[in-house]
Amino acid sequence: MTKNYNLEGRTVSFSKEVIFFSKAFKNKICICKKEAKETKYWFELIAETNPEQKEMCRKLWKEAHELTLIFSKIILTIDRASTFKN
């Protein structure tokens, strides 16, 4: 009994899955970036209204800022990779 391997069909199917994953992944990273930016906003407001929490908010704001930069770099890398493919 011989198995019929449709390499072309399997390759197309795999490529579609990778493209879908890339788009979904980028979408999730964009959401993460947006949430990190919103978190920075809230830390600014909390620090303004609660001076005793200012130092803690500053540290947490820095963490959220670093995450924003990381997410931005991931998005940029994905965009560059998709530009090279086209």
> What mean pLDDT comes out for the span 44-50?
97
What is the pLDDT of the chain when averaged over all its residues?
A: 89
Q: How far apart are CA 49 and CA 68, in angstroms?
A: 24
Q: How far apart are CA 1 and CA 15, in angstroms?
A: 29
Instruction: Inform me whether the pLDDT recorded for 50 exceeds 90.
Output: yes
CB atoms within 10 A of CB 26: 16
Q: Provide the greatest CA pair distance for the chain.
A: 77
> In this prediction, what percent of the chain has a pLDDT beyond 90?
59
Instruction: Inform me whether the pLDDT recorded for 34 exceeds 80.
Output: yes
Helix axes of 54-85 and 7-49: crossing angle, nearest 10 degrees: 160
Q: How does pLDDT run across 2-16, given as a tens digit for each residue?
A: 667 777 888 888 877
pLDDT band at 84 (very low <50, low <70, confident <90, very high): low
Domain range summary for the chain, segments of one domain joined by +? 27-85
Instruction: Inform me whether the pLDDT recorded for 25 exceeds 70.
Output: yes
**Residue type at position 74:** I
Is this prediction's pTM over 0.85?
A: no
Q: Chain centroid to CA 70: how far?
A: 8
